[in-house]
Structure 1
Amino acid sequence: MRSFDGCRFPEAGSLGQMCPTQQTSIAATRDLLRGASPSDVCGGPGPVVAILLALVAIATAGTHPATAQGLPDRCHCGYLAVRGDAVIAEQASDRLYTPASVQKVLVATAAMHLLGPEYRVATVVRGPQPDDDGRVRGDLTIVGRGDPTWNRNHFERDPRTPLEQLAEALWQRGVRRVQGDLVIDGTAFPGRETPPDWPVGDLSFRYGAVPSALAIDANTVPLSMRPGRRVGDPAIVSTTAPIELYNLAVTAPAQRHGKGTVEFQLRWDRAAIVVRGEFPISEPAFDIRVAAPRPLQLFADAMAEALRRRGIDLDGAVRILDLNQAAAQTADEIVLARLISPAAVEWLEPLLADSDNWYAEMMLRVLGLEIAGAGRLDAGLEVLGDFLVDVVGVDEADFDLDDGSGLSPFNLLAPRAVVSVLRWARQQEWFAGFEVALASDRQGTLSRSWGAVPRLRAKTGSLTHVQTLAGYDYSISGEPIVFAVFSNGRAVPRHEMKRDILAELRRWNQIVTTLDAGVAAGGTTR
């Protein structure tokens, strides 16, 4: 068991020992209703609080789980809610669950602590000094170290803006012609791009885009789709990206409306996407962003085009270094241009509020690169694990992580570990930037699909049969409730899982409100 300033986490499935001054579990109120005296319940808060706690228990007893009690018995569910030093509610918080995107909280806090909120990534262009005629007599090498911001979150007008800025910087440096190759060096992120157990069906979509040390538009490309003129005609698919499209999708009858089965398959041997399946003739046209095939090739092509548009001629070829190939640097090479990313604290809103998997996977590899010296998936996971155990004090048995984003169904995490991280984060100088980047009723995933929510700053998580939520509840004045709720293995609509989690939060708020009133009343009678 772990200690919260004198209070101890309860054992899984039981009340355990709480704070001596404040018994704040609904289980304790039921003990009181069964006839136990307040002094029997961890010292007891006094008769006034005992009465109020009993009223809370009466108010919530016998009601339907979906409307008042929150999470039903028939699920693999665990939670922990703490306020100050008091455990408000707990259920199996030391067991392991699939956390989904709540896992991004771990990556965000590790990055703020180990890299710092003002950490920035430099992308540099190396090559020989141009001569008086503007000729670079050798290769021009673009060296990436994992800047995740060359996308629409930071460059809304055009995610290719950073490429244009690099080309302009080279022009200002006097570069007019490159008499060698344009070399793309993405070797800062070698090895496996994704965990081996990411679902194959996720790899083609935006949320499954692979990380790379050099990337534009979060390694995604746009597709537009609409039905053909007649049933049986090919569906109409187009893109503005420089990739090949193999369109095998057909137009299906109107009876298939809402049941389209279009799928996208990436060709890793070339920059190509295969589109197959059915598109009902009654469906409207739609646009979608999918994962980019061969993202470093797309980056290379875009960089060459940016140079051409700026008037810089390239005599040689466009070359991409093998990810496991050491980049060679000649003695006459210097840094000709440099582009610095926004500060790491500015990466947090898309990571946390919008739950962008791209940022999580990129940041995990940046952690590996900067802290362990290798921008590999396994190096980033090792750094993250060391941070949780050595810095925060999480029990190493409370997690087994497979990626940074939470997309893998094989991630395992205990609710009490997340609460420990959230409580630890509140004591850090960078907490304000972290907290404001979490979702709320006006920002991010909570504002889009959860309906009416309390005054939360929280991280959501969703996978098939998985719904999670963790963060800070400010519905009651004073100390927030710091909580983590993991609901796994429920074959019900997602909105029902969200409803039940919010019901759980409302129940905790009712407990705290009653306790606060009781403590105040008890204080005036002594």
Structure 2
Amino acid sequence: MKAALWIAVLLCPLTLPCAALSAAASATAPVAAQSRRSLSTQIDAVIRQPRYAAADWGIAVASLDSGRTLYAHQSGKLFEPASTAKLFTAALTMETLDPQSRIPTRLLSAAPIRHARLDGPLLLYGMGDPTLGTPGANPDWADDLAAQLAARGIEEVHGDLVADATYFSGPPLGKGWEASDLLGWFAAPASALSVHENTVALTVTPATVAGQPPQLSFAPGVAAPPLASTLTTAPPRTPDDFNLYRAPGDALLHAFGSIAEGAAARTYQLAIPDPAQQAGEELRAALARHGIRLTGGLRVLAWPERDDALRANAKVLAEVLSPPVSGILAQGLKRSQNLYLQNLLQLDGISAQAAAANQPGAPIGFLSSEAWGLRALHDLLERIDIAPSSVLMEEGSGLSRSDLVTPAAMTRLLQVIAMQPWAGALQAMLPVGGVDGTLEWRMRDGAATDNVHAKTGSMAYVHCIAGYVTAADGQRLAFTIMLNNYRRDDGEPSANHDVDAIVQLLAGWRGSD
């Protein structure tokens, strides 16, 4: 697929896992190191290959059993961590939120109910659940809410349906997210009222005759954006020239170029610009299905708008609950789901804001939910002796290139996590080498297979991994490996091949000095 440079979304067809596209073939298992010196020599041989001459490696490896640093290379230098930054949000979430708590999405109203009629507006109030409408997590959420309303005997809503996303304060995009990413599913806007992971699937099917426009279909159909398409079907075996563009802040999706006759249909996951609007549309349709007439229209409330009067004295008329926070976090780490971690950071921030409300020295003036979350993270880092200058986080997912972390700070975080009562739970949430998550197709052979539990992080020119592995002698290790500023030339193996080779060295190490 040829993608226009101005969108730079690298959209993965749904029929092919993104992890499989980015993963290199499993690294060949190296000869096990027998001493710290031989371990250092072998790692040095990997990172000093000529193809990395213009790149930067940062590595920090420590023993959880002895506390000793076993290997370090530029461990005090700041690197772009990509999605390994999610480990900081994960630790904050485990410290801040009850892992068994569930996030509600509610129908509220202060209006009286008379003769089967709700005499006033109905509020669809989101409180940060990023899983709403996903398989296994309330896929029929709108019908569930509508059915609860009908069970109260309500047959008419005499007023507007208001989709309210103001539980989060601040912009819907993480600080530092790049405009060129915003069409892709991985940069879906965070919202207190999220649905279907704030994405829509676009399927492109070429026409049976060259020169005719291909078929473009969206799922769910109610989420179809306004579309301007000049796409055409090219003769068979013609290279694809398929392009998508949506201007920042605009809902109109432009599609242009061509797709070859006879090519297989392709499906792409796109971010939707207004999740609350989407959720409201789905609930409005569900109300109609359940025989509830809406006399008014659909209205969306999003920051910085507020209408506190709508919630004053409002009662909960219906409610659906998310999976436990621990389950959301596990999915966010296994799949590297940016929306989940960005929403969790803001929920952490709301909790921190509430805790600080009556404390001396609380910040004066406006702070976004994201900023409150980052403030709470800063406080956590101070408590565990990680210098604030070694962790510069702008948001909760690692998508921002302004996020900077030292390998030493990341490994220190992993050491601290390992001492917490919830350490085992968090480790189980991490991808497992050769088994699942973003590591399913990596490290499928060798000592690291079904052994390493780690968070991956990949962006253009960035390849990172951080987590835990048990060495061949049973010693438990925490490690961080970061490669920045590397561009692979044609014919060279993926950088992940060498990142994985270093992890295999750690897994095979026998720990003697």
Q: Secondary structure at the match of 1:341?
A: strand
If asked which structure has higher relative contact order (CA below 8 Å, sep 6+), I would say 2
Larger Rg: 1
> Structure 1 residues 116 and 428 mapped into 2: Cα distance closer, same or farther (>3 Å)?
farther
1:335 aligns with 2:316: yes
Distance 1:254 1:200, change over 3 A: farther
Aligned to 2:371: 378
Change (3 A) 1:418 1:150: same
2:163 to 184, 207, 211: 184
Question: Structure 1 length normalisation: TM-score?
Answer: 0.80
Specify whether residues 279 and 475 from structure 1 end up closer, same or farther in structure 2 by C-alpha distance, changes over 3 A only: farther
Q: 1:69 deviation in Å?
A: 8.2
Find the residue that maps to 1:96 and give its secondary structure: coil
1:124 maps to 2:109? no
Alignment length (residue pairs): 457
One-letter code aligned to 1:126: L
Whether the 8 Å CA contact 1:79–1:92 is kept in 2: the answer is yes
Runs of 4 or more above 6 Å deviation? 68-71
Partners of 2:295 and 2:472 lie apart in 1 by 66
Q: Which moved more, 1:275-284 or 1:183-192?
A: 275-284
Aligned with 1:227 (options 194, 197, 206): 206
Corresponding residue for residue 203 of structure 1: 182
Q: 1:395 aligns with which of 387, 393, 402?
A: 387
Match of 1:439 in 2: 431
Q: Secondary structure of 2:375's match?
A: helix
How does the TM-score come out when normalised to structure 2?
A: 0.81
**Structure 2 vs 1, CA of residues 64 and 484 (structure 1 numbering), >3 Å: closer, same or farther?**
closer
Q: Note the residue ranges of structure 2 that are not aligned, 5 or more in a row.
A: 1-32, 355-366
Question: 1:58, 1:322 → 2: CA distance?
Answer: 53
Report the secondary structure of 1:419's partner residue: helix
The aligned amino acid for 2:128 is G
Counterpart check, 1:368 vs 2:349: yes
The alpha carbon displacement at 1:90 in A equals 0.6
After superposition, the Cα gap between the structure-2 partners of 1:452 and 1:278, relative to the gap in structure 1 and judged at 3 Å, is farther
Partner of 1:99: 81
Following superposition of structure 1 onto structure 2, how do residues 470-481 of structure 1 map, counting pairs within 5 Å? 470-481=466-477
Q: How does 1:65-464 map to 2 (within 5 A)?
A: 65=46, 72=52, 74-83=54-63, 84=65, 85-128=67-110, 131=113, 133-152=115-134, 154-155=136-137, 160-195=139-174, 197-240=176-219, 241-242=221-222, 243=224, 244-252=226-234, 256-257=238-239, 260-265=241-246, 268-270=249-251, 272-281=252-261, 283-329=263-309, 333-373=314-354, 376-388=369-381, 390-440=382-432, 441-449=434-442, 451-452=444-445, 454=448, 455-464=451-460
Aligned-residue offset at 1:425: 1.1
Shift of 1:252: 4.1
SS of match in other structure, 1:338:
strand
Q: 1:262·1:279 contact (CA, 8 Å) conserved in 2?
A: no
Q: Distance in 2 between matches of 1:54 and 1:140?
A: 65
Number of the residue aligned with 2:360: none
Q: CA RMSD in A?
A: 2.9
Identity of aligned residues (%): 26
Corresponding position of 2:463: 467
Which amino acid counterpart does residue 287 of structure 2 have in structure 1? L
Q: CA deviation at 1:264?
A: 3.7
Report the CA distance shift for 1:59/1:104 in structure 2 as closer, same or farther (over 3 A): closer
Q: For residue 20 of structure 2, what is the aligned residue in structure 1?
A: none
**Aligned equivalents of 2:185, 2:393: Cα separation in 1:** 22
**CA shift for structure 1 position 269:** 4.7
On the 8 A contact 2:227/2:254 being kept in 1, the answer is yes
What one-letter code is carried by the residue in structure 1 that aligns with 2:77?
A: R
SS in structure 2 of the partner of residue 442 of structure 1: coil
Segments of structure 1 that go 5 or more residues without pairing to the other structure are 1-50, 519-526
Amino acid at match of 1:179: H
Contact 2:52 2:486 in 1 (8 A): no
Aligned to 2:19: none
Cα distance, 1:426 vs structure 2? 1.3
Distance change in 2, residues 1:355/1:279 (3 Å): same
C-alpha displacement of 1:505: 2.3
How far 1:109 moved relative to its partner? 1.0
